[in-house]
Structure 1
């Protein structure tokens, strides 16, 4: 997962709450950092996404493959 995919996934899953969750919610699974702090610290976006999903009880079926853009069709 790339940073851009992480940001899209957070936006799609949490909508208007996304900015608050990434800057205010402390995630123990990434060293007691917020998602924003974890990104800045170089933690893999996939690990941050997994921690955020676990902390906010996102169902498993909505955790994988989100944030990806549909392939361009020529």
Structure 2
């Protein structure tokens, strides 16, 4: 998964305006307490980040 796809999926589920804010402010335990933005900066794989987001938002299996 590319970073652009990660952002696209976030926008799809959270809305264009809120996705960036959520990614900057919401800490995910499965990412070591990092936000999406911090995880990207730390070099975590995009797929790992998306799986953590998917779990946190309790999205359906089809969106995994």
> Do both proteins adopt the same fold according to a TM-score greater than 0.5, normalized to the shorter chain?
yes
5+ residue gaps, structure 1, are 64-74
- Tell me the C-alpha RMSD between the 2 structures: 1.0
Higher RCO, 1 or 2 (CA under 8 Å, sep at least 6)?
1
Larger helix fraction of residues: 2
Runs of 4+ that moved beyond 3 A = none
Measured in 1, the distance between the counterparts of 2:4 and 2:29 equals: 23
Q: For this pair of structures, how many residues does the alignment match?
A: 63
Residue in structure 2 matched with residue 6 of structure 1 by the alignment? 6
Gaps of 5+ in 2: none
Larger radius of gyration: 1
> TM-score, structure 1 length as denominator?
0.78
Structure with greater strand percent: 1
Per the normalisation by structure 2, the TM-score is 0.88
